[in-house]
Amino acid sequence: MAKFPRRRAKAGVNLAKTPQMSRFARFARRARGEDLEHPRHRGIYLLPNAFTTAALFCGFYAIVMAMNLKFEHSAWAIFIAMVLDGLDGRVARLTNTQSEFGAQYDSLSDMVSFGAAPALVIYEWSLSGLGKPGWIAAFV
């Protein structure tokens, strides 16, 4: 379907030089001073951070289930955290909503989901009977 301009172009404006907008252009960051009448909605930053929060919760859930000796639930929670961790970066790049906070928040979520949770699951599952050498093995 052809897209026709709704208004007539001003004199001296060449319509052939206007760039084509993608379907995600409304989410793109704007340069300073550009389109100040319609400021960009800030709620879109919540979407990738929601995926990161869900991954962080899965890591926490894996730790709690490991302490309750439900190792199958822990393993599934770590797997779901892995899927959510892959999605949050893709969503942030797709919507062009990368931020320094998001990068740091993702690192925290990764440390809990893929550092602390698997170590505690392994310790509770098989290394707790070894005492202090089990601590060292779980840490490594």
What is the C-alpha to C-alpha distance for residues 56 and 128, in angstroms, rounded to an integer? 25
pTM to 2 decimal places: 0.66
Q: Which candidate, 121, 22, 126, 9, places its Cα nearest to that of 71?
A: 121
Q: What percent of the chain has pLDDT over 70?
A: 69
* Contact yes or no for 71/122 (Cβ under 8 A): no
CB atoms within 10 A of CB 116: 14
Most confident of 33-42, 109-118, 127-136: 109-118
Q: Which candidate, 50, 47, 5, places its Cα nearest to that of 24?
A: 47
Lowest-confidence segment of 31-35, 69-73, 118-122 by average pLDDT? 31-35
Does the structural domain 44-139 have CATH classification 1.20.120.1760?
yes
What is the C-alpha to C-alpha distance for residues 96 and 28, in angstroms, rounded to an integer? 6
